[in-house]
Chains A and B, each alone.
Chain A
Amino acid sequence: MNETQIAEIEQILGKEKVSNSEKILSVYSGNEPPSLVVWPTCTEEIVKLVKWANKNSLPLVPISSSGPKLRGSSLPKVKNAIIVDLNKMCKILRIDSKNKVAMIEPGVTYDQLIPDLKKVGLRPLMPLLPKASKSVLASCLDREPITTPRFHWDTTDPLLCTETVFGTGDVLRTGAAAGPGTLEEQWKSGQAQKNPQGPSQFDPFRLVQGSQGTIGIVTWISMKCEKLPDKQLFLLAQGDDLNSFQEFNYAIYRRRLADEHFMLNSISLKGILATNKLYSPWTLVIGVSGHGMLADEELEYRVNDIRDIGSETNVDLQENFDAIRSSEIVSILNRSSRVPYWKLGLAGNCFEVMFTTTLDRVQGFYDTFCGVAEECDFPVDQIGAYVQPMNQGTNTHVGIDLYYHLDEDTESAISLLAKGQKRLLDEGAYFSRPYGVITDAVFEKASPMTVAAMKRVKAIFDPNNILNPGTLCFKEVLQ
């Protein structure tokens, strides 16, 4: 970037919100180092910046969370990128307890949001132990799975409405927030930006979500929350194989009796609890709650119905086992990870693999991946797994972590990351959120029409390919 261009950006944002210091730039460096970092503080500044970037044909890479960066989606893939760090936009704009919704800016973290929600009897719908610096907004935009599938009605949950600056520099409030009326007028009429659909005959929030910053820069979102439980009980089960829980899980999905519902393999459990204990190969976690009036009775009926299903399906549900107590599980829920991020605790480094499938296929995919690990000489006891039902059980997120030591296992980890994901893809794992080395193979497997349709969409909302170029299938844009 030349001096004139930097001066123009400083003119838009103010000098204090712009830096090209090498030390700072190195924090954001990806395939290519960025040329500038900016910290806008309001929507108007972002609009001006996007319009300026279009005029000057310079790429913008929006970022909301700080490191460690395990996926690299928000690290620049092309030269001369300007990092748009939204960290300073960190206000909780509104919490509405009656309508169970919060409105937040990009820099808000879970540890910032949770206490404020708690004050009014709410909790966020959130992923399992995210990194401390994880932006809540980014998590929602990434379609990060939540631990409570009962409350996960559509893939997009808990994301509701957004304010988005598209790649053209135009601003649109998506969903019911679009109007009619300003936000203040909508609040006065009893609205709370709860309907994410629309406006009208398209769903722009579905285009922004999952786009890894390639369609628009989101300046706030509204997100679904749930009431804090007044009574709560956790049940655990242990198994050698995920299939031993399968009949139970499918029965529980139907009944919507549990809040938290997920499975961890022994390695992930060790990592997440930061212990060296020996656990059963798989642990099933079921959280049950009672609320408000008759909270005790609600908890009792839910727990007893769950126990009945456990008996019918031969799943031994206990609050505590010798190796693991439910209080330990409670301690890792509804909060962020301590620093350093728990995924780095086991071996210092981690690669993430994630895909979507149905529950009945998870064990098969897991076995496949472990088989490839053996081929790659990667230690199977450094493979963590997290299985998270989504969409009230219609599909399942599978997160596989490769915990590796620098130098010692780096080569085999890199090899497994490539080969393992490719094998999973070939066997039918669906990489709905493709990151890193698997991305190109995912879009090669997609039909040409899918890619063409995505590019047509990109050409509408970011016609000059200003936003995070080189990401997903957006190597270039249709004109």
Chain B
Amino acid sequence: MLEKDVYAAFKKIVGERNISQDPGVMDSYAFQWCNEIESAQRGEEPQRFGVRPLAVVLPKSTEEVQAIVRLCNEHDVSYKAFCTGMGPWAGLSSPRGIQIDLRRMNSILEIDEKNMYAVIEPYVTNAQLQCELFRHGLMHHAQGAGPQTSPLASHTSFVGPGFTSPYTGFSGRNVLGVEWILPDGEILRLGSYDHNGKWFTGDGPGISLRGIMRGWLGAYGGLGVFTKAAIRLFSWPAPKEWKWKTSGTIPEYDWDIPPFWKMYVLNFEEWEEYQNAMYELSDREVTMVATTSAPEGLAALFTNTKQEAIESIFAGLLAKTRNYIVMLVAAHTEREFEFRTKLVQSIMEKYGGNDLIEEGVTVPKPMHYGETVRNMLGGHAFRFSNCFQSTHGGMDTIAMAVRLAQLNQPVKQKYIDKGVIGDDRGLGVWITSYESGHMAHMETPTVYDPTSVESCLGYAAYQDECNQMDLDEALGMPFFIVGDDVHNFYAERTMNYADWIRKIKAAFDPNGVSDPSHYVKGGERKK
């Protein structure tokens, strides 16, 4: 329990209705997806519950967040900000800590239609933002975690691939101005916002303090609290007169596909042809989506129930599917559409591919087009079990992503043979390109049973082996190389980068109160 006077001081900031230390409420914050994996990796018994906060506060404004953070510094209380968070990184590691739940800060503050950026608060969700943006003929880069999650969290604090990445890039590269409560309670405003109240760039004057903000992975909430962020927007490729219309009921609802859109599932017998096609399709900017999964994944992508997915497998989907790219040509004009579809056909023929949609192997319904751009397809993977997590994650070239996929297969198969993870024949991957093919990443979504100790331990061992493989084969840095122990393991063969992050942490969080569990503790590395 927090001391009475400390609790009272927090209550004074947010008001009685916006603070709690009810044990049931605290448990709801401690219960997080994948805690069972992290506890297994620490050598503990796998369990979903992490550290329970001593209190949860719900601030409504930047000033309230600042006051909370200052109070935490004063009373040596750790804190972790929480938006739509799902995963151990959303929770605390220190037993003397509170959760700052930002759900009351949920406003879209500005949409600059001409200059294509939006200013958002932490609890604005992808779905909420998309709804507003469509009215302006715009869209944003929504992370693959889904429409219910926070784009501010992804842009400021976490890795950010999404299904539209070839067209909308990566969250961390789309950030403009930012308002940031530093760990000690000072407010830092990045870029033009600090100078003239406009949000159009987050860089300068001189060096860009975005350099300490997040890096590639994000600081996972280990370096203060972000209260506002401007993010870049992109053109929504539909004619001005097109309106978002749905009918029917979940899961069989209908959606009006914009006129110049066409989905493909281009299938290639060998990885080499796949790779060449992926390069050319991405480089030529013909597709909004370029995503690859396992044949089993394809069964889940374009069906609405587990039964339907299994039926499609029994109908022969696996036998007819090799290395495929789900593509979405989404053009603004008929002329653009005709050119792009013709080019896609030419590239497919050049590399000896076939279109699984044209051949009736898989049949996306109109709603699946909508779910693709709303980043709901990732959620389909949960249909085969109630849980999955990803290993690997290295991000550089398409060629590296393919090599990762090839090297991963026998490793994954080993754990499938042990019966501890779901059977996708080791082919379960997610590859997407970014920024018209300039980058790509590969991760391996892997199904496991969170209620089985054996499965949790098995998945954890698989992830450890993947991490080791990435080190040994120079395959980039996986997503979940975060936290002091894991950083130590990786940094020794990666130029001791973590020592610099520790110095940043020490300089900006002198009291060490911004929870470091998925970031670093400040100061010198423990030998």
Contact = CB atoms under 8 A, between A and B. Distances in A.
Contact of A204 (B114, B470, B500): B500
A155 B219 CA distance: 21
B526 interface: no
A376 B215 CA distance: 45
B408 to A, nearest CB: 13
B503 to A, nearest CB: 5
A456 B206 contact: no
A172 B215 CA distance: 15
Interface in A196-253: 197-212, 214-215, 224, 227, 250, 253
Contacts of B174: 154
B117 A394 contact: yes
Interface string B100-143: 00000000000010111100000000000000000001000000
B205 A446 contact: yes
A456 B208 contact: no
A402 B481 CA distance: 51
B507 A358 contact: no
B519 A201 contact: yes
A428 B199 CA distance: 12
A432 B398 CA distance: 34
A155 B201 CA distance: 8
Contacts of B339: 294, 297-298, 301
Contacts of A186: 396, 474
A391 B399 contact: no
Contacts of B500: 172, 202, 204, 460-461
Nearest to A430: B192
Contacts of B494: 178-180, 199-200
Contacts of A461: 500
A279 interface: no
A446 B194 CA distance: 6
B501 A202 contact: yes
B209 A155 contact: no
Nearest to A212: B206
A99 B276 CA distance: 11
A322 B13 CA distance: 69
B11 interface: no
Contact of B280 (A204, A292, A298, A456): A292
Interface string A389-430: 001111100000000000000000000000000000000111
Given A185-B474, A472-B207, A305 B335 contact: yes
A172 B342 CA distance: 46
A189 B284 contact: no
A304 interface: yes
17 contacts: A98-B399, A155-B202, A156-B208, A190-B399, A200-B487, A201-B214, A202-B211, A202-B504, A254-B137, A358-B112, A358-B114, A394-B116, A395-B201, A428-B196, A430-B198, A432-B204, A457-B211
Given A155-B208, A204-B500, A208-B207, 18 more contacts: A180-B476, A190-B402, A190-B403, A199-B477, A201-B214, A201-B220, A202-B212, A204-B211, A211-B206, A256-B285, A291-B284, A292-B280, A298-B284, A358-B115, A432-B203, A447-B194, A457-B211, A472-B206
